[in-house]
Each structure stands twice: as structure tokens, then as C-alpha cells.
Structure 1
Amino acid sequence: FIPKNPFADLTGANPTSIISVVIFAAFLGVAALKLLKDDVPKGERVLTAIDTLQSWVMKLVRLVMQLTPYGVLALMTKVVAGSNLQDIIKLGSFVVASYLGLLIMFAVHGLLLGINGVSPLKYFRKVWPVLTFAFTSRSSAASIPLNVEAQTRRLGVPESIASFAASFGATIGQNGCAGLYPAML
């Protein structure tokens, strides 16, 4: 688990890459905090650089998010053009079943929000950009930065809680598809 080459692990080349990257990030974080404690001006510059890098990556993620629908359209066009009508009809019935499952999931989620005193309409309106991006990209991990932003700016969740909840929720929620799709079959 100790990274031999953290930059190679950033590519996901090994089965234990994620653990190695987390360990390397922890070392970087501890080093940054020690630098901040020992040499405040340099430590503040490091933290400013990290904040700038995070903002830069967020801009890149937003750019990719804006371009994603065009890529999905191109992929769908290729699939439809190379398929026969019977396959498209079978796929269409699967898509309808998927949407029904998602509709039930949203209804249950809205019911739980209402029971806990949160207006489902207000909540869904605030998180709609995250939901639409996660749905169209089909990637929980790619939606983490947008998720954190929605929690902090729209829902008023503290940054530390939002960062943990978004990353933990994206990982722990991956079993949702494992339950939904076999149930549809």
C-alpha cells in the first residue's frame, strides 16, 4: 500500500492505486501543516497554491461538464446507427424500466425528506445541477466537486462535512446500481 511511485498510482495502474494515492495525499497534508506551523509565510503560500489548484481543477471539471452532452450525443448516434430496430426496441424497454426505478427512488427520497421536515421541492431545486450531471455522466466520482459545491453554497453545509459526505456517499452509494438493475431483470 505504500506508494513506490505516487504519480504512476494516480493513473490507477495498480489494484491498490487508490489506497496508495490516499496515503500519499495524507503525507502531503501532514507536510503542509508542519510547514505552516514551522514557517507561516511559506505554509500560507502552499495553502494558497493548493486552493488555486483546486479552483483550476473545478474550472476544468465545469468545462468537461459543459461538453459532456455533446460527447454523449455522438456516442448515442454511433450506437443507434450501428444497431437494428429490434435491439433499439429492447434497449428502449430497458431504459423505460430504468426510469421507472429512478422515479421510485426519487419518490422515496422525497418522502424521507418530507418526513424530516425538509421541503423536497426546494431541496431538489438546489441539487438539480448535481443530479443532472451525475445522471448524464454516469459517474459518481466525476460529480464529487459539483456535489461539494452544491452542499456548501446552496444547502449551507460546512466545507469539511460536505467534502467527506460527497466522497463517502459516492463510494458507499455504488451498490445502488447493483440492487436496481438485477431487480429490473
Structure 2
Amino acid sequence: MGLVFGVLLGWVARTGDVSWLVTTLDKIGSIFVQLLKLAVAPLVFFAILVSITNLRKVNNAARLATRTLLWFMITSLIAVAIGLAIGLLTNPGAGTGLTPKDGGKPESAGTWLDFLTGIVPTDVITPFTELNVLQIVFMAVVAGVAALQLGDKAQPILGLSQSVLELLQKALWWVIRLAPLGTLGLIGHAIATYGWDLIGKYATFTADVYIGCALVMFGVYPLLLATVAKVNPLQFFRGAWPAIQLAFVSRSSVGTMPVTQRVTERLGVPREYASFAVPFGATTKMDGCAAIYPALAAIFIAEIFGVNLGVGDYVLIAFVSVIGSAATAGLTGATVMLTLTLSTLGLPLEGVGLLLAIDPVLDMMRTATNVAGQVVCPLLVSGREDILDREAYNAASASPIDAVEARDAEKQATVPAAA
């Protein structure tokens, strides 16, 4: 309903030139995103720290972690291959009427040197104030491994970290309940600002991104779930839908992370393992933003600037997509990943300016694909390792998360009484 009313209000604001309505929609959407981002830095830190320490409760923790990263890479390779294939078949940059003069260099760009040296922070405060998710993940990993080495001595810190994480997740649930209003504002402002005229120039490219993401989400993922995890793919969409639709609206994998973890658990993935796989996936697993999109964008920009890409360039795109996806950081937008891809290929960074205007429209589908992949990979690993609760998976439904939370709280309350 928020999506429908947002489109209608955005259309009214644009056709009627109602400036106050445009401003109102902008404020509603931006406040919702700001509230999501407010919890991102501490949420990522404590989620990663707690997830690493929780691995000690899981049998074959190292094996599970390795398998998780392996499936992250496999699905990313499949996604980037689909993106490249669609781009080569459709030539998204041809016939757009755009020229290199229409582009402009982004304010900041990603390079391999920045990526490698930027992992280690210069202090412990700046990553949180500047929201550098990659550096926050690095510090959380170091703190988690150190806590494992300390053993019982670290228990007070781990107890505090768990409490802080639960507090942050509870506060974020309140923000997530505002998603219908956030949807109305974000979609409405996008329609009022961009309308349908802008999409006309990028029609092929926009269709390519949506088709590529749809092929991965509704084709590759169900096929892997059916053949690897041996589960019914339809049940996956029933259980994971709340996270997928919130990701589509919020355009933030990290902001959606509490919902993603909740649906992953209710689909039968053990909580101790899900608490590791989902936070890492939310910051590094980006099939939409870091695989399909950079592949199509590189082809699009190369065609606009008249640069011929060879087989070696396509291999480089695949390499960057698998290794550099952490640069996307799970936040709205994928500019850093795109500039990293362009700089690796030697393509003009001015090409980024060609895509900035259309980015919000594309980012919705990209982020939904990201989050779907972040749920699929733990399911694949759990199914292969025979730790998946198949009864829970088959019982999962698309009921609202609030209803699930209430049922779980009721169950937890009755367990001590029964005992």
C-alpha cells in the first residue's frame, strides 16, 4: 500500500507541480533512511563480534565458515556471468543519445590501493563517524578473535556486547515498522523527481538490471535450493519475503539485517550459524550491487565512450565482483564498487555520472537480490551439512515478522514454566 500510494502521490506532485508535496515526500523518505543508518555502525560492529564468538557453539565452525565464503563466491560468479551475458546480448549503451559530455567524475572513487589500505583504520572513532563499514568489520573481526583467545576472561565483554546488540535490534525493529511510511516517501519522491522521462534514455540498461536480478533471484537461487539443499524453492520465498521486500524499499542490506537474520532462522538455519552468516553476508554478499550491476554498467559505459572490451576485461570484471564486493558496504548505492571496476578496467570514471541519476531506481532491485542471496547461502550450507531444520523450513510462511516475533516470545515464556 505504501508503494502504491507513493507512486500516486509522486505522480500528483510531478504533474501538478506541487512543491510542498515533493518536499514532504523527500523528508519522509530521508528521515526513514537516516533512522536506518543511525544504527548501522554499532549494529555491524556488535553483530560481527557476537557472530564470531557464537561460532564456538557450533560444531565444525571453521568448515561452515569456509563453505559459506565458498558459496558467496560461487553465486557471485554466476551472477556476474549473467550480467555480462545480458550486456553483450542487448548493448545497453547503444542508441541512448548519451555522450561522454553527459558524464561527470564522482566526488570519491574506489581503487585497489584504497581498498587494501582502507581496511585498517587509523583510529577507532573515525570509522564510526564516517560510517566506513569495511573498517568497522575489520575491528569487529579482530575483537571477536581476541575474545575467543581470551576465553572466560572475555565473558563480561561478550555479555555486554550481546545486550547492546539486542538493544540495537529492538530499536531498529521500531524503525522497520515505519517501512510503509518510508516506502511512501522514498518511492513518491523518486517519481516526483525523476518521473518516467529519465527512464526512457536508460530503458535498455534499466531493463537489463531488473532482468538480470530477476534471473538470479527467481532462477538461479531456486535451482540451487532445489538441487543443492534439496528443499522446495517456493517455501524460500514464503519465508524470506519480508526481508526481500524491506530491502527493495530501504535499499540497505545492513538496515535489513535484523529481518534477514530472523527469516533465515525461521527457515530452519541454526541460530548460532545464522548469527555468523547473515551479518557477514550483509556486508560482503552483494550479487545485485557487486556482480550484476558493475558488469552491465561497465559494458554500458564502454559503449558510450567508444571503448572495446576484450575477454581479459570480462575476466577482470568477474575478479573484481568476487573479491571487491566488500567495498559495497551494504549501504544504499554501489558507486564505490562501480568506480573500483572502472578503474581496474581503465574506463573513464566520468561514466559514473551517467548512472547517478537513475541509481535509486536500480538500487531497489539490486538490494532485494543482495538480501535474497544472503538468505540463500546459509540455506545451501545448512542443507549440505545436514544441519537444516527441514520441518521449520517447510512450515515457514510469509506472515509478518511482528507476528513471528510475538509467537517466539510466547514460546520462550512458556518453556521455563513447562520445565
Pick the aligned partner of 1:68 from 175, 179, 190.
179
Question: Which residue number corresponds to residue 239 of structure 2?
Answer: 126
Question: Which residue number corresponds to residue 127 of structure 2?
Answer: 9
Question: What TM-score, normalized to structure 1?
Answer: 0.71
* Unaligned ranges ≥5, structure 2: 1-119, 301-419
Is the contact between residue 80 and residue 88 of structure 1 (CA under 8 Å) also seen in structure 2? no
2:278 alignment partner AA: A
Cα distance between partner residues in 2 of 1:10 and 1:24: 15
Q: How does 1:67-86 map to 2 (within 5 A)?
A: 67-83=178-194, 85-86=196-197
Pick the aligned partner of 2:224 from 112, 115, 119.
112
Cα distance, 1:62 vs structure 2: 1.6
Question: What TM-score, normalized to structure 2?
Answer: 0.36
Cα distance, 1:84 vs structure 2: 5.8
1:144 alignment partner AA: M
Cα distance between partner residues in 2 of 1:169 and 1:13: 18
Question: Which residue number corresponds to residue 170 of structure 1?
Answer: 282
Question: Which residue number corresponds to residue 142 of structure 1?
Answer: 255
Bigger shift: 127-136 or 18-27? 18-27
Cα distance, 1:102 vs structure 2: 2.6
Question: Which residue number corresponds to residue 102 of structure 1?
Answer: 213
Cα distance, 1:118 vs structure 2: 0.6
Cα distance, 1:15 vs structure 2: 8.8
SS at match of 1:82: helix
Is the contact between residue 114 and residue 120 of structure 1 (CA under 8 Å) also seen in structure 2? yes
Post-superposition Cα deviations, 1:5-30, rounded to whole Å, max 9, x if no partner, equal: x3443223669732245435655776
Cα distance between partner residues in 2 of 1:168 and 1:135: 20
Pick the aligned partner of 2:142 from 20, 23, 26.
23
Q: 1:15 to 1:118 in 2, by over 3 A?
A: closer
Cα distance between partner residues in 2 of 1:51 and 1:57: 10
Cα distance, 1:157 vs structure 2: 2.0
Q: 1:13 to 1:120 in 2, by over 3 A?
A: closer
Bigger shift: 168-177 or 107-116? 168-177
Cα distance, 1:35 vs structure 2: 5.2
Is the contact between residue 254 and residue 282 of structure 2 (CA under 8 Å) also seen in structure 1? yes
Question: Which residue number corresponds to residue 52 of structure 2?
Answer: none
SS at match of 1:156: coil
Q: 1:82 to 1:119 in 2, by over 3 A?
A: closer
1:121 alignment partner AA: L
1:157 alignment partner AA: V
Post-superposition Cα deviations, 1:97-151, rounded to whole Å, max 9, x if no partner, equal: 4332232112221111112311011122111112222222222222222222222
Q: 1:110 to 1:14 in 2, by over 3 A?
A: closer
Q: 1:7 to 1:174 in 2, by over 3 A?
A: same
* Unaligned ranges ≥5, structure 1: 37-42
Question: Which residue number corresponds to residue 40 of structure 1?
Answer: none
SS at match of 2:129: coil
* Correspondence 1:160 to 2:272: yes
How much identity, in percent, do the aligned residues show? 31
1:10 alignment partner AA: F
Cα RMSD between the aligned structures?
3.3
Q: 1:66 to 1:30 in 2, by over 3 A?
A: farther
Cα distance between partner residues in 2 of 1:73 and 1:94: 25
Q: 1:17 to 1:161 in 2, by over 3 A?
A: same
Q: 1:102 to 1:135 in 2, by over 3 A?
A: same
Is the contact between residue 3 and residue 21 of structure 1 (CA under 8 Å) also seen in structure 2? no
1:166 alignment partner AA: V
Larger RCO (alpha carbons 8 Å, 6+ apart): 2
1:17 alignment partner AA: Q
2:234 alignment partner AA: L
Q: 1:65 to 1:30 in 2, by over 3 A?
A: farther
